[in-house]
Amino acid sequence: MLLAEGNLLTQALHSITNELSLEQEAAQGTKQGLPPEDRCQRGKVLSQHGGGPSLSAAHQEPLGAGGCRVSNMAQTEKKGGLLRKSSASKKPLKEKVVLMYDEIFTTEDPSKSNPRFWEELFLMKVNLEYLEGKLEALDGEELMKIKDNINCLFQHCIQALGEEHPIRVVNALQTLCALIRGVHQKNKSTSGFDIINMLVGFDKAELCMKNLMESLDSLLCAEGSESLKSLCLKLLLCLVTVTDNISQNTILEYVMINSIFEAILQILSSPLSRREHGYDAVVLLALLVNYRKYESVNPYIVKLSIVDDEATLNGMGLVIAQALSEYNRQYKDKEEEHQSGFFSALTNMVGSMFIADADEKISVQTNEAILLALYEAVHLNRNFITVLAQSHPEMGLMTTPASPIPTTPVTPLGTTPPSSDVISSAELPLDADVQTSNLLITFLKYSSIVMQDTKDEHRLHSGKLCLIILTCIAEDQYANAFLHDDNMNFRVNLHRMPMRHRKKAADKNLPCRPLVCAVLDLMVEFIVTHMMKEFPMDLYIRCIQIVHKLLCYQKKCRVRLHYTWRELWSALINLLKFLMSNETVLLAKHNIFTLALMVVNLFNMFITYGDTFLPTPSSYDELYYEIIRMHQNFDNLYSMVLRISTNAGQWKEPASKVTHALVNIRAIINHFNPKIESYAAVNHISQLSEDQVLEVVRSNYDTLTLKLQDGLDQYERYSEQHKEAAFFKELVRSISINVRKNLAFNTLSQELLLKEFSTIS
């Protein structure tokens, strides 16, 4: 028996090896103008409906793998399992594997007529299109009639995963994918249709799925073929994403029970495996973590939260950093291409009036799948926070590859892993004077790009997720420690939206500062650039909350940050001005008083505690100067909230809160304005300079009375389950759809796989 099987496999492998030479001969024949029949004579044995002897798999495999090369016209028929077009006198010829599929799709057990049926099947090159199409063509009732054969096929696929011969394993993995996708597609159109029963049968489901998961786990952890590992991950991604809502995918219960978590970690901790499979592994983990995360105990959440292995966490960080770096690189390439193109020439001729419209066209598809993985790591695992600040020498020290890097954009939310060479060329050109980069810097750059334009739904989701991640970081004590560390200075080149009233900052003039300065710059940039009718209220609230949490840390730890605070104060005052100018339009959609209260309380934070965290006494003086200089905006805000709070209506209570919060700001204005006017009158000065105003401020602090306000340095900590569950459910649904859409087994060419294993004796 073993000898027969060995001979069978050897013959099949021999046929596969000959396949490439047959292709070359067929191609040569085409060039010479030979008819298809003359080019199909060597090594061809065709199976035909209703006739011909039963042939061994070894002899028929070359046909199944495309041994008979037909004309280009007939190639279209090959997709359906046909080897040549039918004519009036001849029946269409089919691949051997297609004939075997046809036997499975009958009510008879195919192994009755051929005891070696299942052994032969997995030596045949899989025809994914035909198998899935066959399943799709059947209605629910027809499918139930062949349930036993489907169950049998599924079980034999699982058995084949334990084979020593990789060709059988490859074909079994691809067949499983076709079965899972095909049966799930049928489930969408048929009510009362149970996936598990159709695939494996209720009575054998637990054992079969246990065996399947154990086999996949073994293949992922083994030191064998990287192609097999890649196929295993593709199959798992296929299994996870067959439903839009992964929490409704009942098969995942078996993935929860029979965990592959350790296998994923092993991939991430190994440099070779991580380079080959890290992207798929990280996306798979992010999806598994989101399976019924609010309804039950998810073991992947529990295990991810306690991972403390440095190599594994750093590996995960490297994969995420690489994917985000690829996005940043693609955007930078498009930006440079755009600047050197037609619009650049046009704007040089007619000025900058078109610059905003032109730059809207610089667009690279976002990648929420990898961003979700970063969020889960930051949110669930406190140990991962250290990874954010870990320098990546391979990002900066690797030389630029000799071969050009493909510039094709990453498919939306896709599973196509970025080029392994991306990191080397992505980071350093953006920060020429910085020797190292880290995940946080890469993430901040990514955020600065996707947050520029929130009109697109994917970018809006990406922007929101970026702010949620920054919220988690701003709440973490250790993260704040390295964010504010004076010994960790970086030059972070954030992308800034082109605006007519400001010049583009020169990258080389950026100072080296603690990373928290880049976070604050990002928040200021968002505040300044998104004051529009389609007002992203939710993003603004998150943005102000992040600033507040950073200030709370600075106040608590007495960190005196050397930052251009005036830019923040100016942005906040302009935001209040925008809210007042668009009161009617905005109130129809939003509670603008919640945001106004948060902005006012940021000023109260500076007024009450600024002497403990502002860098110098003159910084505190400048705060008062800005409040006095822009007093008209605060006066107008007070008038507006007083008007609304004194009238009955839905905004009465939130408006009255803003009224009370303005007490100290109004006290400062009412105290210093008369003093400034008096100083000007005495000195016969019509318009005071900044220094003169500051002199008045410094000399009149003693007589200023302020009210102590409680709770300014307190905040509500981030909670996903209570406030963000709906957002994440929709986000994961979107990711699942796009991962499934972009998950192509054809990216792992069957010919390449078979060629890899054809050398095995």
pLDDT in tens, 51-109: 333 333 333 443 333 333 333 433 434 445 555 454 555 556 678 899 999 999 998 99
Q: Which of 332-346, 532-546, 743-757 has the lowest mean pLDDT?
A: 743-757
Q: Alpha helix locations (H) across 242-352?
A: 252-257, 261-269, 271-289, 299-305, 310-339, 342-350
What confidence tier does 746 reach under pLDDT thresholds 50, 70, 90? low
Residue of 512, 613, 598 lying closest to 547 (CA atoms): 598
Give the model's pLDDT for residue 141: 83
Residue 523 has pLDDT above 60, yes or no: yes
Q: Alpha helix locations (H) across 630-688?
A: 631-645, 652-661, 663-682
Give the model's pLDDT for residue 380: 97
What confidence tier does 749 reach under pLDDT thresholds 50, 70, 90? low
Give the model's pLDDT for residue 444: 97
What confidence tier does 155 reach under pLDDT thresholds 50, 70, 90? very high
* Tokens encoding 440: 């946080």
Residue 718, classified by CB atoms within 10 Å of its CB into exposed (0-12), middle (13-18) or buried (19+), is middle
What confidence tier does 533 reach under pLDDT thresholds 50, 70, 90? confident
Residue 179 has pLDDT above 50, yes or no: yes
Residues 6+ apart with CB under 8 A from 325: 395, 418, 422, 423, 426, 427, 442
Calculate the alpha carbon distances from 376 to 302, 369, 497, 555, 646 in Å.
12, 11, 29, 29, 46
CB atoms within 10 A of CB 106: 11
**Helix/strand/coil for 411:** coil
Residues 6+ apart with CB under 8 A from 23: 66, 69
Give the model's pLDDT for residue 165: 84
Across the range 143-153, mean pLDDT stands at 92
Q: Is there a contact between 117 and 161 (Cβ–Cβ < 8 Å)? A: no
Q: Which residue has the higher pLDDT, 191 or 505?
A: 505
Give the model's pLDDT for residue 433: 42
Q: Which of 37-51, 148-162, 520-534 has the lowest mean pLDDT?
A: 37-51
Q: What letter represents residue 563's amino acid?
A: Y
What confidence tier does 348 reach under pLDDT thresholds 50, 70, 90? low
Residue 439 has pLDDT above 70, yes or no: yes
Question: Is the C-alpha dihedral spanning 702, 707, 709, 712 positive or negative?
Answer: negative
d(CA 540, CA 549): 14
**φ and ψ at residue 109, rounded to 5 degrees:** -75, 115
Give the model's pLDDT for residue 500: 63
Q: Is there a contact between 270 and 229 (Cβ–Cβ < 8 Å)? A: no
Please give the share of the chain, as a percent, with pLDDT higher than 70: 74
Across the range 193-199, mean pLDDT stands at 82
- Max mean pLDDT among 87-101, 136-150, 625-639 falls in 625-639
Residues 6+ apart with CB under 8 A from 472: 375, 378, 379, 718
Give the model's pLDDT for residue 91: 58
DSSP 483-507: HS-TT-EE---------TTSPPPPG
Residue of 174, 25, 116 lying closest to 746 (CA atoms): 174
Mean pLDDT over the full length of the chain: 81
Please give the share of the chain, as a percent, with pLDDT higher than 90: 60
Residue 400 has pLDDT above 70, yes or no: no
Q: What letter represents residue 443's amino acid?
A: F
Across the range 268-277, mean pLDDT stands at 94
Question: What angle do helix axes 663-682 and 631-645 make, rounded to 10 degrees?
Answer: 140
Q: Which residue has the higher pLDDT, 400 or 619?
A: 619
Residue 322 has pLDDT above 80, yes or no: yes
| Tens digits of residue pLDDT in 645-695 | 998 889 999 999 999 999 999 999 999 999 999 999 998 888 899 999 999
Residue 270, classified by CB atoms within 10 Å of its CB into exposed (0-12), middle (13-18) or buried (19+), is middle
* Tokens encoding 368: 């929420």
Q: What is the CA radius of gyration of the chain?
A: 33
